[in-house]
Amino acid sequence: MESKRVAVVLLSGGMDSAVVLAIANSQGFACEAISFDYGQRHRFELESARRIAGMLGTVGHTVLPIDMRAIGGSALTDDIDVPKNRTGIGESIPVTYVPARNTLFLSYALALAEVKGAWDIFIGVNALDYSGYPDCRPEYIEAFGKMANLATKASIEQGIEFKVHSPLSEMRKADIVRKGVELGVNFALTHSCYDPDGEGRSCGRCDACLLRLKGFVDAGFVDPRAYMD
């Protein structure tokens, strides 16, 4: 029996990365999930990541603490208000931007990939219905991949080519919802909100909630997530 190829999948606890894990599984990869405890305002994301890993199935799930508060510069890690009911999402880069976040996440994923013998890394970035973060764009992902192939022992000694897959890159949020439904993702377990209440209910008004809700409406599904009144 041929053993499955291993892939490292960045799993945030949000809906996009849940669909990416389902896609990687459906492509026959044995998935090593990796999540980060980076001083988010709340822990619901990480709890969601654990549940999603359990629901969809992984061969391992590494949760790494990373200290982004020590660096600062974001509404997601500092005491800056998360903007609500924004119009023009994606037209400029909002205060929820975290400096070099995906670069850090992908760097850890690369390290884990090399140790696990995985040459495929999956990330749920999206450059259509997104907040406008620069490190979600295809040209960024491509540049990271080029750098990765010069960075590691595996690439130099074994000629391994790391590939960073971003299967949602060119998908609209509604397509992501449809794909998730098709692959059996239980969206009730996914957490998107930047500013949930104490019970983990979503605010419905931050960028992440607005993009998510529009995606469900456009796809013709009801979001099973709990929202504040």
Q: Which span (10-18, 48-56, 60-68, 185-193) binds a copy of itself, by CB under 8 A? A: 60-68
Q: Does 6 bind a copy of itself (CB under 8 A)?
A: no
Site string for a copy of itself, 99-128 (x = CB under 8 A): xxxxxx--xx-xxx-xx-------------
Residue 73, exposed/middle/buried by CB under 10 A (0-12, 13-18, 19+)? middle
Which positions from 152 through 181 interact with a copy of itself, judged by CB under 8 A? 152-153, 155-157
Mapping DSSP onto H, E and C, the string for 182-228 reads HCCCCHHHCCCCCCCCCCCCECCCEHHHHHHHHHHHHHCCCCCCCEC
Q: How far is the CB of 197 from a copy of itself (least distance, A)?
A: 29
Q: Does 26 bind a copy of itself (CB under 8 A)?
A: no
Residue 141, exposed/middle/buried by CB under 10 A (0-12, 13-18, 19+)? buried
Closest CA to 181 of 227, 214, 127, 224: 224
Q: Does 68 bind a copy of itself (CB under 8 A)?
A: yes
Question: Of 135, 195, 207, 223, which lies in the binding site for a copy of itself, with binding defined by CB under 8 A?
Answer: 135
CB atoms near residue 181 (< 10 Å): 15
Q: Are 123 and 115 in contact (CB under 8 A)?
A: no
Q: Does 229 bind a copy of itself (CB under 8 A)?
A: no
Q: How far is the CB of 194 from a copy of itself (least distance, A)?
A: 17
Q: Which span (14-22, 68-76, 118-126, 171-179) binds a copy of itself, by CB under 8 A? A: 68-76
Residue 113: CA count within 13 A, CB half-sphere: 31
Q: Which residues pair with 122 in a beta bridge?
A: 9, 165
Q: Three-state SS for 77?
A: coil
Q: Does 137 bind a copy of itself (CB under 8 A)?
A: yes
Q: How far is the CB of 80 from a copy of itself (least distance, A)?
A: 13
**Of 67 and 170, which has the nearer Cβ to a copy of itself?**
67
Polymer length in residues for the chain: 229
* Residues making contact with a copy of itself (CB under 8 A): 62, 64-68, 70-73, 92-93, 97-104, 107-108, 110-112, 114-115, 133-135, 137, 139-140, 143-144, 146-148, 150-153, 155-157
